[in-house]
Amino acid sequence: MENLIALLVAAPLLGAAVLLCGGRRLDRAGHWIGTVLAAASFVIGAVLFTDMLGRGAEDRALHQHLYSWIPVEGFQADVAFQLDQLSMTFVLLITGVGTLIHIYSIGYMEHDERRRRFFGYLNLFLAAMLILVIADNYLLLYVGWEGVGLASYLLIGFWQHKPSAATAAKKAFLVNRVGDMGLSIAIMLMFTTFGTFAFGPVLEATGDTSEGKLTAIGLMLLLAACGKSAQVPLQSWLGDAMEGPTPVSALIHAATMVTAGVYLIVRSGAIFNGAPDAQLAVVVVGAVTLLFGAIVGCAKDDIKKALAGSTMSQIGYMILAAGLGPIGYVFAIMHLVTHGFFKAGLFLGAGSVMHGMNDEVDMRKYGGLRKFMPVTFLTFGLGYLAIIGFPGLSGFFSKDMIIEAAFAKGGTEGWILGSVTLLGAAITAFYMTRVMLLTFFGEKRWQPDAEGHEPHPHESPKSMTIPMIVLAFGSVFAGGFFSIGDRFVHWLEPVTGHDHGHAPVSATTVTAATMVVLVIGVAVAWVMYGRKPVPVVAPRGSLLTRAARRDLLQDDFNHVVLVRGGEHLTRSLVYVDHTLVDGVVNGTAASMGGLSGRLRKLQNGYARSYAVSMFGGAAVLIAATLLMRAV
């Protein structure tokens, strides 16, 4: 059975190779090849899953050693896979949502002449993401990590004729490099500390390692997670990444790739468990991003950017949960999975709306679309209810668990974290209601575009609606399915461990509080956007709104601190290079030249002076020889 694991990766990898190398003759069949191979990977995953369910909880993990990548004395790098419950969860999420989004893309990208290439990149992404989650060592994980970064770069910039897309791709790539640096440093630290980077030995050895080293590794891993999962301070790329086609935003920048940071932290749980300082850094990052993303999401009029802010915020929840340690690991992953369903569904819904609205993204120019796109409205609406945590839907369970776990952390820390997560839930309810109201309710606000084409909103084709419906099912039922009888906890416990913590307040109280903030959030949004007509041109807004529209000045901050700072640094380096380094070099050269000119004068052409110099040389030679003996 373990021999199937490599096939998980092989199927999409083959697809990528065929589609990217196959050339134009595959243009007509390319999207089918890509979709079938993605589905094949899902089927293999499902087979492996049923097989895994048939075994006891403790021996569910499978290993497959493919080959020795770098077999050097003292440095063993293997291409080997490990499929345990945690990896399995991701495999099903990635291949499942991935396949749905492949299907969706068939319709969405129908009129794009580079559709084959798009599917090639999607398959490449799937292969890399699968390597990331089933690698059995950090080095191979790094291969997948870089692979998804590459695929993300290629897909954000897929419409490379748009300068904004090209810039966004470059920005994502550059910001991710910072995080990747963290991962590579973490791997190097692991190698020097443990002498290996395979998960098993590294995570087992954490008990005997000093906290300082674990903290260093943990902080570097957190840096990596921040880059890939768009967490503060490396969050700035995610909003711009919405320049990519919407299926990409759904798959890569909502459901799967951006959650790789959560996977990394949960997978490295043993390291963080031994490094409380690193854990604290993780929860701080999670809490800050949770609010940051939510605030940004409130102010955006671009539907995809509002959703991107939401993604950032929801991943903040997951990171925060992962930082709580064994209390939170399971819930981080659970929220990750439910979020994968409802956020992918929301993005696909947004794409469906854009598809019907001539690619308009400004929500102020939507309005009243529920009549024109009933299926989209329904599925989007279910996703909306799930994300705000409407009782009984997926988000309700998973988010509630995280809020409870935050309180269960105990002490002041627990109260602060719990309050932050509650506040986040309120803001989430607000901005998602805003999105919902602006898009589907109220008066129609769309106008003819510059060329006089008035949009004719219509429902999307079946290839697009069916994936949305499937995801809506997930949004509705996944949370309940996971939570009833603590199914998900029991499933992941053997890998991540679980701890109930000491909740200072009862679960019922937390749930009640959540419900209260939920209602407040929805009510405020309704007062602001539902009760009265929405202006087509955004009002000036308060200082906070204006800052949030500019992503809370993240780019300004980066510009001032990093770009300007970098420019100053390079300028001063250039100055040092010109004056000091060149000065030394040129000075040396000049002094050599001067010395040369002076020594040259000794060569005056007279044999007599040459003879004198020889005589002097001989005298010195003899004297020195005798002197050496005397000494």
Q: How many other CB atoms are there within 10 angstroms of residue 543's CB atom? A: 8
Q: Is 589 in the site for other proteins (CB under 8 A)?
A: yes
Q: How far is Cα 283 from Cα 482, in angstroms, rounded to an integer?
A: 24
Of residues 452 and 597, the one with the C-beta less far from other proteins: 597
Select the span of 49-57, 200-208, 546-554, 615-623 touching other proteins (CB under 8 A). 615-623
The structure tokens 């129609």 sit at 444
The Cα–Cα gap between 329 and 264 comes to 11
- The full length of the chain comes to 631
Does residue number 628 form part of the binding site for other proteins (CB under 8 A)? yes
Minimal distance, residue 100 CB to other proteins, in Å = 57
Q: Which stretch binds other proteins (CB under 8 A): 264-272, 290-298, 341-349, 623-631?
A: 623-631
Q: How many residues bind other proteins (CB under 8 A)?
A: 28
Our finding on whether 614 is near other proteins (CB under 8 A) is yes
Binding of other proteins by 21 (CB under 8 A):
no
When binding is defined by CB under 8 A, the residue of 72, 537, 543, 624 that contacts other proteins is 624
Residue range at the interface with other proteins (CB under 8 A); choices 123-131, 166-174, 441-449, 612-620: 612-620
Cβ–Cβ < 8 Å for 424, 294: yes
Residue 581 makes contact with other proteins by CB under 8 A: no
**Token pair in block for residue 190:** 């692991």
What is the smallest separation between the CB atom of 308 and other proteins, expressed in angstroms? Answer: 52
| Whether 374 contacts 472, CB under 8 Å | no
Footprint (CB under 8 A) of other proteins, residues 293-332: none
Structure tokens at 569: 């640094």
Here the tokens at position 36 are: 């079938």
Nearer to other proteins, 450 or 628 (CB): 628
CB-CB contact of 131 with 140 (8 Å): yes
Backbone Cα Rg of the chain: 30
Q: Is 590 in the site for other proteins (CB under 8 A)?
A: no
Find the part of the chain contacting other proteins (CB under 8 A) among 206-214, 477-485, 558-566, 617-625. 617-625
Asked whether the beta carbons of 177 and 237 are under 8 A apart, the reply is no
Q: Note whether 617 binds other proteins by CB under 8 A.
A: yes
CA distance 313 to 238: 11
For other proteins, the closer of residues 25 and 629 by Cβ is 629
Question: How far is residue 287's CA from residue 403's CA, in Å, rounded to a whole number?
Answer: 11
Q: Contact 65/77 with Cβ under 8 angstroms? A: no
Q: Is 527 in the site for other proteins (CB under 8 A)?
A: no
Does residue 629 interact with other proteins by CB under 8 A?
yes
Three-class SS state of 584: helix
Cβ pair 378, 465 in contact under 8 A: no
CB of 579 to other proteins, least distance (A): 22
For other proteins, the closer CB: 68 or 603: 603
532 part of the interface to other proteins, by CB under 8 A? no
Nearer to other proteins, 565 or 587 (CB): 587
Q: Single out the segment in contact with other proteins by CB under 8 A; choices: 121-129, 456-464, 501-509, 622-630.
A: 622-630
Gap between the Cα atoms of 350 and 361, Å rounded: 9
Q: How far is the CB of 583 from other proteins (least distance, A)?
A: 17
Q: Are 382 and 345 in contact (CB under 8 A)?
A: yes
CB of 616 vs other proteins, minimal distance in Å: 7
Helix (H, G, I), strand (E, B) or coil at 453: coil
CB of 604 to other proteins, least distance (A): 9
- Give me 329's structure tokens: 């690991």
Nearest of 229, 479, 225, 133 to residue 334 by alpha carbon = 479
* 625 binds other proteins, rule: CB under 8 A: yes
Least Å from the CB of residue 577 to other proteins: 19
Note whether 613 binds other proteins by CB under 8 A: yes
Q: Which is nearer to other proteins, 72 or 624 (CB)?
A: 624
CB nearer to other proteins: give 575 or 610.
610
Question: Does residue 585 bind other proteins (CB under 8 A)?
Answer: no
Evaluate whether 459 touches 372 at the Cβ level (below 8 Å).
yes
Ramachandran angles phi, psi of 108, nearest 5°: -65, -35
Give me the least distance between CB of 602 and other proteins, in Å please: 8
Query: Residue 610 Cβ, how far from other proteins at the closest point, in Å?
Result: 4
Q: Where are the alpha helices (DSSP H) in 409-528?
A: 411-440, 462-483, 487-496, 507-525
At closest approach, how far in Å is the CB of 574 from other proteins? 24
**Span of 19-27, 402-410, 551-559, 621-629 interacting with other proteins by CB under 8 A:** 621-629
Q: Is 621 in the site for other proteins (CB under 8 A)?
A: yes
The alpha carbon of 351 is separated from its chain's Cα centroid by a whole number of angstroms, namely 21
Could you say whether residue 626 binds other proteins (CB under 8 A)? yes
Burial call 585-594: b when 16+ CB within 10 Å, e when fewer? eeeeeeeeee
Cβ proximity to other proteins: between 574 and 621 the closer is 621
What are 80's strand-pairing partners?
65
| Whether the Cβ atoms of residue 249 and residue 192 lie closer than 8 Å to each other | no
Q: Is 584 in the site for other proteins (CB under 8 A)?
A: no
- Are the C-beta atoms of 555 and 236 separated by less than 8 Å? yes
Nearer to other proteins, 543 or 599 (CB): 599
Distance separating alpha carbons of residues 426 and 590, to the nearest angstrom: 71
In the window 591-610, what residues touch other proteins (CB under 8 A)? 592-593, 595-597, 599-600, 602-603, 605, 607, 609-610
In whole angstroms, the minimum distance from the beta carbon of 613 to other proteins comes to 5
For residue 576, the minimal CB distance to other proteins (Å) is: 22
- To the nearest whole angstrom, how small is the minimum distance from the Cβ of residue 619 to other proteins? 10
139/132 Cα distance (integer angstroms): 10
**CA pseudo-torsion sign 106, 108, 112, 117:** negative
Q: Which is nearer to other proteins, 508 or 596 (CB)?
A: 596
Q: Kindly list the residues in this chain that would bind other proteins in the complex (CB under 8 A).
A: 589, 592-593, 595-597, 599-600, 602-603, 605, 607, 609-611, 613-614, 616-618, 620-622, 624-626, 628-629
